[in-house]
Amino acid sequence: MAGLYIHIPFCESRCIYCGFYSTTSLKMREAYVDALCKEMAMRTVDRALGEPAQIETIYLGGGTPSQLTSQQLLQIFEGISQHYDSCMGRDMEVTMECNPDDITPSLCHTLSQLPVNRISMGAQTFSDERLRFLHRRHNAREVENAIHLLREAGIGNISIDLMFGFPNETIQEWQQDIEHAISLNAEHLSAYSLMYEEGTTLYRLLQQEKIKETDEDTYLRMYEMLIDKMTAAGYEHYEISNFAKPGFRSRHNSSYWHEVPYIGLGAAAHSYRRKPEVMRSWNEADIHKYIQTITEGRTEQEHEILNKETRYNDLITTALRTIDGITLEDIKKEFGDSFYQTLMTEADKHIARQLMVIKDGHLALTRKGLYISDDIMSDFMLV
């Protein structure tokens, strides 16, 4: 079983913090969707070489998948059922990322014709002033309207994204955002601190000293508040940035954290498979080139065969992000005694400082460890 990720690199406008590769040129959508469906057919060769044919989660991410027309969305799912039909209709998780202002009665009507059963929505904040600062297209009211429409359309699994650590944001303002999010009763919430990625407008504003980055101490207090409020509201803190009501962890993202194979379709999409050897591959990122090569019947995938050290490092940075941590037995089985000993030597130091704990055969971060997770993970890395 595997996850299927489909990348939709179109946005109506650019948000100032976004470092993802996407385009506001919507006229290429039709050719892109045709190429996506063609890639599904072409990946038959990869399936013969070991790429999984059976999928149990689908994720339409971007970019903004809700910028596709009804016809284009139907075409994509038609392609999926044609090439991955063995699993359709079973207990699948099918997620689509949507912008709140794209969620209209018309989109909900389209959703009712698709197997989509989970919507992930970038709310980011409930302050219209901060939304304008980010150059987001929606306002706070539209998030509530969107949730209302989605519920009416029968979507029982909604995830919202929030951001914290805006320039000049106070702890009280962040508290209001968290409480607002909880009041919406979504099944899942992801929260990320505002990142200043090189090449973005936000980064430029910082360099020009027009805005000031939130200090470490405030970030930490905001993160602590997030965990306290979300867990008190009945959400399970199951990954560093993710919270879910019981039974609503993201199955698709969980598979990334547990080395489950995934198939990535579309420009810049990454894939991961374990047979015949462990391999990561990725598609051409440039949308024009992607469409051109696929239309000509070629794929321009680059790949990397993962050796034991890289796989071990990957496992550290993914599994340690989760509340379940690393399964010690798996380390022994997959990597052998010497890796296990290396892991335990490092783990003992952190356990002594109460930054990590071993419970039921799993090595995981404690709450104290979560706050400095990046430092701890880098201590475990093999060079």
DSSP states along 171-205: HHHHHHHHHHHHHTT-SEEEEEE----TTSHHHHH
Whether residue 54 contacts residue 86, with contact meaning beta carbons closer than 8 Å, is answered with yes
Tokens, residue 288:
């024009």
Q: Is 254 in the site for ligand SF4 (CB under 6 A)?
A: no
Q: Is 62 in the site for ligand SF4 (CB under 6 A)?
A: yes
Candidates 57-65, 164-172, 247-255, 309-317: pick the segment binding ligand SF4 (CB under 6 A).
57-65
- Cα separation of 283 and 306, whole Å? 17
Lay out the site mask for ligand SF4 across 108-127 (x = CB under 6 A, - = otherwise): --------------x-----
Q: Interface residues for ligand SF4 in 262-301 (CB under 6 A)?
A: none
H or E stretch at 29 = helix 29-42
Q: Which residue is nearest to ligand SF4 (CB)?
A: 18
Cα 146 from chain centroid (whole Å):
20
Query: What are the helix (H) ranges across 89-193?
Result: 105-112, 128-134, 140-152, 171-183
Number of residues that bind ligand SF4 (CB under 6 A): 10
Residues 8, 15, 35, 121: which binds ligand SF4 (CB under 6 A)?
15
Residue (229 or 270) nearer to ligand SF4, CB: 270
Give the pairing of strands 93-98 and 55-62: parallel
Minimum Å gap between C-beta 108 and ligand SF4 is: 20
Q: Is 95 in the site for ligand SF4 (CB under 6 A)?
A: no
Residues 6, 22, 83, 319: which binds ligand SF4 (CB under 6 A)?
22
Q: Is 159 in the site for ligand SF4 (CB under 6 A)?
A: no
| Long-range pairs for 194-197: beta carbons < 8 A, 24 or more residues apart | 194/17, 194/163, 194/164, 194/165, 194/166, 195/17, 195/19, 196/17, 197/17, 197/19
Q: Is 68 in the site for ligand SF4 (CB under 6 A)?
A: no
- Cα separation of 18 and 10, whole Å? 13
Q: Is 356 in the site for ligand SF4 (CB under 6 A)?
A: no
Q: Is 18 in the site for ligand SF4 (CB under 6 A)?
A: yes
Minimum Å gap between C-beta 188 and ligand SF4 is: 18
Q: Is 162 in the site for ligand SF4 (CB under 6 A)?
A: no
Contacting residues toward ligand SF4, per CB under 6 A: 11, 14-15, 18, 20, 22, 62-64, 122
